[in-house]
Amino acid sequence: MKSHSAWGTSKSLVKFRIPTSDNLVPIRLDIEIDGQRFRDAFTWNPSDPDSEVVVFAKRTVKDLKLPPAFVTQIAQSIQTQLTEFRSYEGQDMYTGERVVPIKLDLRVNHTLIKDHFLWELNNFESDPEEFARNFCKDMGIEDPEVGPAIAIAIREQLYEIAVQSVTSAKESRISKKGRRAGEFFSASKTGGNAVDLVKLFGNKSSVIRKRKEWDVYEPIVDLLSNEEVDALEAKEERNIR
């Protein structure tokens, strides 16, 4: 179902997928049984057979010496997230030209990362892992867990945005049945946080940012001491409860 707007392929509808070069689903686990809490985040390839989920759960429990009750919980959680992903898979989403700001604000062990940059949604060859690798290399981060955490955070945000675009595509189709015009506007409406491309990339403006804005888009990497980590953790726990 291609649109026939003047922008050509820029407003095409494609099947839902994560807009990166590998269609990997970010999975987050946070399971608590009998006072033991297991938290993890990783990417999963949705084309893996579902049997792999149980195998993975068993292996994780074995490696980390968790009580076996975790196996079912982990497997269930992964499955739920996977099915959710798959439910979107059959549907269409807009892949108009959208550049969205991605914000990173995460803490991995002792490293605190804050960052803000732009990501193009219809670039299906983007690679969050590569970005994460470069980031860690440039910033001299040695903790090997930071890279994957960054990649997963990016993926999650992209996933969310993709989901949003699916729902909005559905809505627009319902609401604008029979009318082809105005698809450009709908595309921009779907992404409330998308960047105004005309403003930024139009002929009147420079793509070099103003200096005062450099701080906004500069990555901040902080190394925390143990006490700060504990304090932050306690705060997070309180927020969750």
Q: Write out the binding residues for other proteins, residues 130-149 only, by CB under 8 A.
A: 130-131, 133-145, 147-149
Within 13 Å and on the Cβ side, how many CA atoms surround 48? 17
Is residue 139 a contact partner of residue 232, using CB atoms and an 8 Å limit? no
Task: Return the residues of window 84-113 that contact other proteins according to CB under 8 A.
Answer: 97, 99, 102, 108-111
Given 6, 181, 208, 240, the residue binding other proteins (CB under 8 A): 208
Which is closer to other proteins, CB of 214 or CB of 227?
214
Among candidates 13, 40, 14, 16, which has minimal Cα distance to 26?
40
Residue 4 backbone phi and psi in degrees, to 5: -115, 40
Q: How far apart are CA 102 and CA 158, in angstroms?
A: 8
Rule CB under 8 A: choose which of 214, 227, 239, 240 binds other proteins: 214
For 96, other C-beta atoms within 10 Å of its C-beta total 26
Q: Which of these ranges, 37-45, 85-93, 168-176, 183-191, lies near other proteins under the rule CB under 8 A?
A: 37-45
In the complex with other proteins, which residue's Cβ is closer, 34 or 177?
A: 34
Q: How far is the CB of 16 from other proteins (least distance, A)?
A: 20
- Residue span binding other proteins (CB under 8 A) among the ranges 83-91, 156-164, 168-176, 206-214: 206-214
Nearer to other proteins among residue 79 and residue 123 (C-beta): 123
C-beta separation of 201 from 118 below 8 A: no
Rounded to 5°, the CA angle 141-160-38 comes to 60
- Report residue 234 as tokens: 């306690």
Per CB under 8 A, 59 contacts other proteins: yes
β-bridge partners, 102 = 117
Q: How far apart are CA 74 and CA 39, in angstroms?
A: 10
Least Cβ distance, residue 28 to other proteins (angstroms) = 11
Which residues face 100 on adjacent strands? 119
Site for other proteins in 160-179 (CB under 8 A): none
Measured from the CB atom, is 179 or 211 closer to other proteins? Answer: 211
Stretch that binds other proteins, among 45-53, 86-94, 124-132, 173-181 (CB under 8 A): 124-132
The smaller minimum CB distance to other proteins, of residues 92 and 127, is found at 127
